[in-house]
Chain A
């Protein structure tokens, strides 16, 4: 029973992390309909920024998190303005090829500067150790930390989307770009900002995930399918869809690896194929994703 609780909490932490990593993609892919396979590269950027700052310059870990967010967001903004923007109207194949190209460049670039080995950081003392819930059931303090941060972020995102002027502009731009433009909304800027924030969140997720997911140059490809699953399974009608999809995915993956280790990551792929075959437009979608 207690074992179940531990696995469940680990799964929730993992799922929350996936949500932060993938929620930017759910906007670019789900709402703006851009197949961006390079989303993981932004997460990797955030992770490596943190590694360099913590290990190389002794910057406190907590301070690195906002920096990782800002750096990834800046890279995202730059690339959106220079390259991504040109392909918004292009067909899916072109977008796939373009973003695979970006992934290859990011992987080789990181390999060149940082080497191919797995990167590690030392967490500050107060984030280490175990937190005992009941007899036998415990959760790593760091995982608890992830759960709290990601939950707060999810709430903030939902509020931004539903309550602020920017949120309503974004929803308008996505629903009908032409009309939004006619109403004086600068759709290009809204998309650029959204892309930057999404990349920044991925960078933050990458920084948080070093301990949990591991970090090496193959990161963008290893997690690409997870991000895609979150978006496609979660649908795009609200924040809640991707959020629930992330949790299901996280718990399913952790539980699968724990209880049926021989089955490994089959669990994920099987789940995804089954869901996609039964509900091609996602579990929670109210309308098609393309």
Chain B
């Protein structure tokens, strides 16, 4: 089942050869959502400013390439490293106080970065965006082509590697401890778990992967705009998790695919007003289908099992 899922990019490559940029975007969005899921779905920290780390990664990778270091993989690692560092520092601000305080502090951090990127136009290009991102070939062999073939495979492979890493993290004892913290922080503290250290760790790792996702976007599209730090990007990641289901590793990927396809379809029908339907869908999901696609899938599997059990009897 899982192998089949990860083989999907191959037929998709041949079926939608002309829509590869869209598929690349889905992979990047999926990675971004996965990184948020570690923070939200596993650690239970509600963040409205996850785009801060995405944007930091994007600008790091973009600026490196503009200033003469276009090697993609080290660029990506640098993007992750910068975002990780920022995540570590800001986690101490974020983890104080209640849900509401966390919401506001994360939001404020991303707004401050957005404002900074806007003001530092000599560095980031400001509202015009960062042009002149030229990437060297990956491993010196695969050049980024006009059709987006390389960008596609590159994004899918980075997504896969990050996915494996994130899954290993959530299934490790640390991941279990996180779920414990989310479920009942008081009790976790009582049995001697270092709750705050776990949360700091989760926030830092999540920020790092968001940075990698941002770096990936910068390298794949060879352009960075202020948009990478905007509020709607943080909201989008939340949405993806709601659609897909949070606290489940495949939720982010399914959600990202569903979200981008929906967005593409809706903006085809009503260009510029697709946000309306997005909002309507969000409200319906919250009111009626709180597990997302993964939740529906699990309910379906459970029902199948039940009928099979009954037949066996």
Give the complex CA separation of A107 and B276 in angstroms.
8
Is A255 engaged at the interface, CB distance under 8 Å to the other chain? Answer: no
Contact yes or no, B99 A290, CB < 8 A: yes
Question: Quick one: which of B115, B280, B286 contacts A269, CB cutoff 8 A?
Answer: B115
Is B193 engaged at the interface, CB distance under 8 Å to the other chain? Answer: no
Is B107 engaged at the interface, CB distance under 8 Å to the other chain? Answer: yes
Which residues of chain A in 74-108 are interfacial with respect to chain B, using CB atoms and an 8 Å cutoff? 83, 86-87, 90, 92-94, 96-98, 100-108
CB distance from B47 to the nearest CB of A (A): 10
Residue of B nearest to A107 (CB): B275
Contact yes or no, B100 A266, CB < 8 A: no
Give the complex CA separation of A92 and B238 in angstroms.
13
B278 cross-chain contacts in A, Cβ below 8 A = 101, 104
Contact yes or no, B276 A109, CB < 8 A: yes
Which residues of chain B in 98-149 are interfacial with respect to chain A, using CB atoms and an 8 Å cutoff? 98-101, 103-105, 107-109, 111-112, 115-116, 119
Is B282 engaged at the interface, CB distance under 8 Å to the other chain? Answer: yes
Contact yes or no, B282 A98, CB < 8 A: yes
Interface bin, chain B: 35 or more
A97-B286 contact given A92-B99, A232-B104, A266-B115, CB 8 Å threshold: yes
Which residues of chain B in 245-301 are interfacial with respect to chain A, using CB atoms and an 8 Å cutoff? 272-276, 278-283, 285-287, 290
Contact yes or no, A264 B235, CB < 8 A: no
B286 cross-chain contacts in A, Cβ below 8 A = 87, 90, 94, 97-98, 101
Give the complex CA separation of A277 and B100 in angstroms.
13
CB distance from B158 to the nearest CB of A (A): 28
Which of A179-187, A195-203, A221-229 is the interface stretch? A221-229
- Contacts A108-B279, A109-B276, A228-B103 aside, 13 further interface pairs with beta carbons under 8 A come to A29-B100, A83-B283, A94-B286, A100-B282, A101-B278, A103-B279, A108-B275, A225-B111, A265-B111, A272-B104, A273-B112, A276-B93, A290-B100
A92-B46 contact given A97-B286, A101-B282, CB 8 Å threshold: yes
A104-B108 contact given A83-B287, A96-B103, CB 8 Å threshold: no
Contact yes or no, A111 B283, CB < 8 A: no
Question: Quick one: which of A86, A90, A276 contacts B105, CB cutoff 8 A?
Answer: A276
Which residues of chain B in 186-244 are interfacial with respect to chain A, using CB atoms and an 8 Å cutoff? 231-232, 235, 238-239, 242
Which residues of chain A in 251-274 are interfacial with respect to chain B, using CB atoms and an 8 Å cutoff? 262, 264-266, 269-270, 272-273
CB distance from B206 to the nearest CB of A (A): 15
Contact yes or no, B279 A225, CB < 8 A: no
Is A119 engaged at the interface, CB distance under 8 Å to the other chain? Answer: no
CB distance from A88 to the nearest CB of B (A): 13
Question: Quick one: which of A29, A105, A111, A289 contacts B272, CB cutoff 8 A?
Answer: A111
Is A136 engaged at the interface, CB distance under 8 Å to the other chain? Answer: no
Question: Quick one: which of A86, A104, A280 contacts B287, CB cutoff 8 A?
Answer: A86
Of residues A29, A94, A98, which shows the largest number of chain B Cβ atoms within 10 Å of its Cβ? Answer: A98
Question: Quick one: which of A92, A112, A264, A270 contacts B119, CB cutoff 8 A?
Answer: A264
Give the complex CA separation of A232 and B287 in angstroms.
27
Residue of B nearest to A263 (CB): B119
Contact yes or no, B108 A100, CB < 8 A: no
In the complex, how many residue pairs between chain A and chain B have their CB atoms under 8 Å apart? 125
Rank and list the top 9 A-B pairs by shortest CB-CB distance, nearest first: A104-B279, A280-B97, A101-B282, A108-B276, A105-B279, A290-B98, A101-B283, A101-B279, A108-B275
A280-B98 contact given A225-B111, A266-B112, CB 8 Å threshold: yes
Residue of B nearest to A94 (CB): B286
Is B63 engaged at the interface, CB distance under 8 Å to the other chain? Answer: no
Is A288 engaged at the interface, CB distance under 8 Å to the other chain? Answer: yes
CB distance from A217 to the nearest CB of B (A): 10
Q: List 9 A-B contacts (CB under 8 A).
A: A98-B282, A101-B278, A108-B274, A108-B279, A225-B108, A266-B115, A273-B93, A276-B97, A290-B100
Is B302 engaged at the interface, CB distance under 8 Å to the other chain? Answer: no
B280 cross-chain contacts in A, Cβ below 8 A = 101, 105
In the complex, per-residue mask of A10-41: 1 if CB is within 8 Å of any chain B CB, else 0: 00000000000000000001000001000000
Is A143 engaged at the interface, CB distance under 8 Å to the other chain? Answer: no
Question: Quick one: which of B103, B238, B239 contacts A35, CB cutoff 8 A?
Answer: B103
Residue of A nearest to B46 (CB): A93
A277-B115 contact given A92-B100, A94-B286, A98-B282, CB 8 Å threshold: no
Question: Quick one: which of A96, A273, A288 contacts B108, CB cutoff 8 A?
Answer: A273
Contact yes or no, A289 B105, CB < 8 A: no
Give the complex CA separation of A289 and B101 in angstroms.
9
A92 cross-chain contacts in B, Cβ below 8 A = 46, 99-100, 103
CB distance from B199 to the nearest CB of A (A): 15
Contact yes or no, A98 B283, CB < 8 A: yes
A273-B242 contact given A92-B100, A105-B276, A289-B100, CB 8 Å threshold: no
A262-B119 contact given A93-B46, A96-B48, A225-B104, CB 8 Å threshold: yes
